[in-house]
A and B are shown apart, each in its own frame.
Chain A
């Protein structure tokens, strides 16, 4: 056998929680700071493996845009043992971090100079927020921007304070909907695809980024097709079970593709024929 690699790809570095805020009844936003003082070095769309020693590890999207600082943000939904324990963290507590891993939204390539359509369904807002904030901070490099956001109920709106700010930026159109309204809700009601008929965009000059629960993709893609959007201009981020994040454990396979390496962000035209994808 040849030379031995010295780096242990499974060994996390440590980071400290520097800010924690409740976003919804089930989601919290965490700001972590790498103890090394280095920046995580991610681009929008990537994820990191987050651990608590003794409990486990899970892939979590990086929700903040890259900014060269050692801090980064994550929005985490409480669904099980690790995410539950993360929700019990206090400022000053430590976590393990490996990454960043995976592919990125094409913010510096295919999206440049184009109109952008963000379709954020439920928890899909978390990874898309990184791209949205990146695009808004490089506003001049892109055309018109549509942000569509849909949640189950108004209580589950993620980053609602920021949403309002985004909507005020020049050339940005923000549309929200909820599946079930509450008494105070005055906005749209219905699934996210009902928002498509409320906007007009040039399908030839638009790049769409869609992220949401598995069931949403089929419907959203069908709508975009009806609007004559080419799948080559559509990017999705796919969730799969992931145990390593580095192309070894086999859990994340989508037919022959590895969601952790070939994804999580895919250009939809590349996977439209991949049977297990959507």
Chain B
């Protein structure tokens, strides 16, 4: 269902949504932006450049209860509440689509999937490119599925594309929506084309398939050692990445020493002991091995698994790395030069 809404009417509509649902929305945090509970419509900033944290954290919680136990009895913790996630950029939605596949395949993960099933996602096309975004080089500047509603700002109007029944219900909460026509679709197409150029703050030379193919023969490339020399294994690049989903599992015991919970927490392959087993023996002892693993995972291992390139070009890691070595564009450009 395609509708248009005057930007002046957006506030009333979002207010109605806030009344009816728990809303997580994109908002300002000092001079940056992030997602958080949206209390009032004035806080919503659909003109943001990039969110500090990727929206994955509402589905794969940074610290998540898997089950509670009492002595020898365990009870699965699955109490996901429905919510509306408002303002997701296309590249981040593509990252979520990948996580959906990964958590669904082989052994479905009920914790992640039940949160996803209960969330209504309102995506928004990028209005202001961030400093390091390169999603345009990957074709991830726009998205044509996986949202409940996609909003695109066209002049003084928002084109609202509801792809699901839940999306249509949200639109029904608004007043002043009018019918869209072909000119709106043409205008959206134009914005997608423009964003393909605008979301290229770094220029990736090879295409996705070329990178995946080249990685087949780049294991001993000098770039890994060169870059990893400056890596201090802080894991920031893992933390901010919308497609990183590795986790650790541990138990927390209550004061009664009988009850407690098993939790999973985010983990990162760049951290020194990620692959260390009892012994101790670290299967990725060298920084360069860990550094290489991350780029192989984005460029080859996960693509081989799900058929999609697993760096979405958000550029967050580029900004997060204090030693300026975490730019996937530099890495993938370098391996093409043998």
Chain A residues with CB under 8 Å of chain B are 1-2, 4-12, 14, 51, 53-57, 79-80, 83, 94, 96, 214, 239-241, 243-244, 246-251, 253-256, 261, 275-276
Contact = CB atoms under 8 A, between A and B. Distances in A.
B102 interface: yes
A241 B246 contact: no
A244 B106 CA distance: 13
A14 B249 CA distance: 19
Interface-central residue, B74, B250, B257, B274, by most chain A CB under 10 Å = B74
A80 B102 contact: no
Contacts of B246: 249-251
A11 B67 contact: yes
Interface in B266-321: 267, 269, 274-279, 281, 283-284, 289, 293, 296-297, 300-301, 304-305
Contacts of B264: 10, 249
6 contacts: A4-B113, A10-B264, A14-B74, A56-B250, A241-B277, A243-B248
B100 interface: yes
Contact of B110 (A1, A8, A94, A96): A8
A11 B76 contact: yes
Nearest to B276: A241
B249 A57 contact: yes
Contacts of B251: 51, 53-57
Contacts of B104: 2
A240 B275 contact: yes
Chain B facing A: main interface SS: mixed
Interface-central residue, A12, A79, A276, by most chain B CB under 10 Å: A276
A239 B279 CA distance: 12
A253 B257 contact: no
Main secondary structure of the interface of A (DSSP, over half): loop
Nearest to A57: B249
B108 A5 contact: yes
A9 B275 contact: no
B106 A261 contact: yes
B107 A246 contact: yes
Contact of A248 (B67, B247, B275, B278): B247
Interface string B231-242: 000000000000
Complex A-B, nearest 4 residue pairs according to Cβ-Cβ distance, in ascending order: A250-B246, A5-B108, A53-B69, A54-B253
Contacts of B113: 1, 4-5
Given A1-B113, A14-B72, A249 B304 contact: no
Nearest to B69: A53
